[in-house]
Amino acid sequence: MKIRCVITDDEPMARKGLQGYVDKIDFLALVGVCSSAIELNNLLKSKEVHLLFLDIEMPYLSGIELLQNLPQPPKVIFTTAYEQYALKGYDLNIIDYLLKPISFERFLKAVNKAHDLVANAKTPTADFIFVKSNNKLEKVFFEDILFLEALENYVIIQTAGSKIITHTTLKHLLENLPVDNFLQTHKSFVVNMNKIKTIAGNTLGIQQFTAPVSRNLREQVMEKILKNRFLKK
């Protein structure tokens, strides 16, 4: 499997150097080179991308700001001259943090880690998962899930007929759900897009329930929900 990657950096020499490194790795396929986070944001709407080599300090929009506004970002390796952002980067669950000037040896270590996480990632082969709730394992079919709601150290799995509370994180559950059907709309909510009945402002109607859409995710969320299905006059 080729890992589809994009380089984003406002410095031409930095972009050129990373391109040279990517060309040496057989399992990497470079599908884009961007000079700004804004350009990258546009590219991500039209191309499938598995991995970002992302600079942090860029004009208008930083790499961190972009990452915080993507509902389901690709895996990320930060490439930066500023080490003070390292802790923030790992809070965003990045793969690695490369400080410029970047040696090929350090680059190779980072992309090998990415290979393990991306190319060898396990994807759901069944249409259900088991979760632990009330000291027992409960089988939950993906098609039955209306939405997930994070509640401190727990997640509520809401179905049409039950509310299952399990001790886990929203991120961990989302990683085990089909990416084509489930979408994070808010820091505390993931919805089954097939179950959405209404959209009113920043609220999604799902049967008798509602789920919020955060302001910073609204554009991306609406685009993915509506796609080309919005019938205008």
**What DSSP assignment string belongs to 32-55?**
EEESSHHHHHHHHTTS--SEEEE-
First to last CA, the chain: 44
**pTM of the entire structure?**
0.55
Tokens of 202: 């920043």
pLDDT of the residue at 86? 72
- Better-predicted residue by pLDDT, 185 or 127: 185
Residue 38 pLDDT > 90, yes or no? yes
- Mean pLDDT of the 186-204 span: 94
Question: Percent of the chain at pLDDT above 70?
Answer: 91
- Mean pLDDT of the 189-208 span: 94
The model's pLDDT over 158-169, given as tens digits with 9 standing for 90+, comes to: 998 899 999 999
Domains in the chain, CATH or no CATH each: 3-120 (3.40.50.2300), 128-226 (2.40.50.1020)
- How many Cβ atoms from other residues are within 10 Å of residue 89's Cβ? 22
Q: Find the range with the poorest average confidence among 133-137, 189-193, 222-226.
A: 222-226
pLDDT of the residue at 108? 97
